[in-house]
Structure 1
Amino acid sequence: MRVEHIYRYPVKGLTAEALEEVALREGECLPHDRRFALAQGDAPFDPAAPTWLQKRHFGCLMANAKLALLHSAFDARTGQMLIRPPEGAPLLADTRSEAGRAAIATFLAGFLGEEARGTPHFVEAPGHNFTDVAAKAVSIIGMASLHALERAAGMTLDPLRFRANVYVSGGRPWAEFDLVGQEIQLGGARLRVFKRIVRCPATEVNPDTAERDAKPPKALREHFGHADLGVYAEVIEGGHLAIGDALEPLQGDLLH
């Protein structure tokens, strides 16, 4: 299988950022992936003592489809965050300052309107990632599986509906499920695949229009008997990953 796309998502629920290459580190997510989140005012999240919480406590596409209309960009060197709404002036703020984080929170809460609960806060906690599962992982989708879902659903589905980190081509549909519990070589890194990804209503949201114009979980259940697409893997030996690199199982040929 060949790596076709690599993405990080600096803010939970906001724009994907494409990467040509990345350095994977043992026990970590992609650098800056899900580094920030908008914590709802009633979320029991403490940046001083971060613990994993379900996505409903944060701004997320599952509950807040309109977030797809925002275009964001994060500069990891300077800490600057740019958020551009479909109408009106964009926001440029410094994620490293209290004032900058407050400005981002106010901007996002204002955009969400009634969907914002209480007084939301734009949060980060060093060493913590706002992932959908209580583990630091790299999410991987086989494009053959996505194409099988498209054929069954009778429509084209933007891969970014599924917000994976790595998209790979080659192999048969659902081959990545056979890798659960196995080790893989992904570029120069070694990972252990530990879980299939159960898909939620976030995938119903069109990343361009913010409309709920498809039902991937329903189509998966009806045509394949499960609601899964992609797998989670933990990095057990860091290394360099770039577009064009191979994904290979380390325990026999499980992909054909």
Structure 2
Amino acid sequence: MVADARRFQEGMAAMRIERIYRFPVKGLSPESLAEAVLEPGGTLPQDRRFALAQGDAPFDPAAPRFLPKQNFGCLMANARLARVRSAFDPVRGVLRLAAPGQDPLETEIGTPAGKAAAAAWLTRFLGPEARGEPRFVEAAGHAFTDQARKGVSLVNLASVAALEHAIGTPLDPMRFRANIYFDGLPAWAEFDWVGRDILAGGARLSVFKRTVRCPATEVDPLTGERDIPLPARLREQFGHADLGVHASVTEGGRIAVGDAIEALLPG
């Protein structure tokens, strides 16, 4: 049980969750949360629930499977999506979209008509970057994550600060589009968690890989400009293109801003 797990003290300061975010639509803006309940084997609730599938993407909602991000609207290929502000109300099933130069849209996204309206709106915004006839899609139990294995992503704010110092440029941590941002651990020490379990609030997570950064991080999350080649800067300064880790949820529970994070002894 989580309560009986052996803890392993990392660093001098207590680790704690500083921010929690979900991204209801893949590639679009984040929604800040004060707390969330994680379920075993799942993602943050509503995270990457929806996506804009490009017209040539072989995604079938009736038989969902993992596909690489290039099949969907994503910042790696579509930097201008950073200028879209989205908000999802899961109680009402309503999605709101707004962007410069377009009339805002509010639509019941659970209906075929609502999905068609969202697809048309985003297709107009993407312009020539839209391939074929894009579809706004979801599938029961499926999440449009960048990993075939479901889970949550975590970023150590000390690692972001180390990268800022190395390149001499302030960085918005939202460039890394993580679910959980935490503090209290030395920079890059989170890489030692791979293959180990951590406790985050009332949940237990199993860290399974480092997060390899793609050109999505080059995009300013406010302006949509591709302004800093962060994967290249990481390789130049640190010999790798990684920042953050991915973890699967092995024991569910509540997490909240301010909750402690503890790393467990191996074995």
TM-score when normalising by structure 1 = 0.97
Match of 2:23 among 3, 6, 9: 9
Verify: 1:250 aligned to 2:264, yes or no. yes
**Residue equivalent to 1:200:** 214
How big is the shift at 1:206? 0.2
Q: Which runs of 5+ in 2 are unaligned?
A: 1-14
**Partner Cα distance (2:92, 2:119) in 1:** 19
Please name the residue that 1:239 is paired with. Answer: 253
What RMSD over aligned residues (CA atoms) do the two structures have, in Å?
0.7
Residues 7-64 of structure 1, C-alpha deviations (whole Å, 9 max, x = no match): 0000000010000000011000000000000000000000000000000000000000
Question: SS at 1:82's partner residue?
Answer: strand
- In the TM superposition, residue 68 of structure 1 has moved relative to its aligned partner by 0.6
Given that 2:156 and 2:183 are in contact with CA atoms closer than 8 Å, whether structure 1 keeps it comes out as yes
| Corresponding residue for residue 137 of structure 1 | 151
Q: Contact between 2:102 and 2:125, CA under 8 Å: does it hold in 1?
A: no
CA distance in 1, matches of 2:102, 2:138: 26
| Aligned positions, number | 252
1:185 aligns with 2:212: no
Out of 153, 164, 170, which is 1:156 matched to?
Answer: 170
Equivalents in 1 of 2:169, 2:93: separation in Å? 39
Deviations along 1:67-118, one digit per CA (max 9) or x if unpaired, are 0111000001011000011123200011110000000000000100000000
Q: Secondary structure at the match of 2:96?
A: strand
* Deviation digits for residues 201-234 of structure 1 (CA, Å, limit 9, x no counterpart): 0000001100011111111100100000000000
Q: Give the share of equivalent positions with the same residue, in percent.
A: 61
Distance 1:246 1:216 in 2: 29
Matches within 5 A, 1:67-82: 67-82=81-96
TM-score (norm 2): 0.93
Unaligned runs of 5+ in 1: none
**How is 1:32-181 mapped onto 2 (pairs within 5 angstroms)?**
32-181=46-195
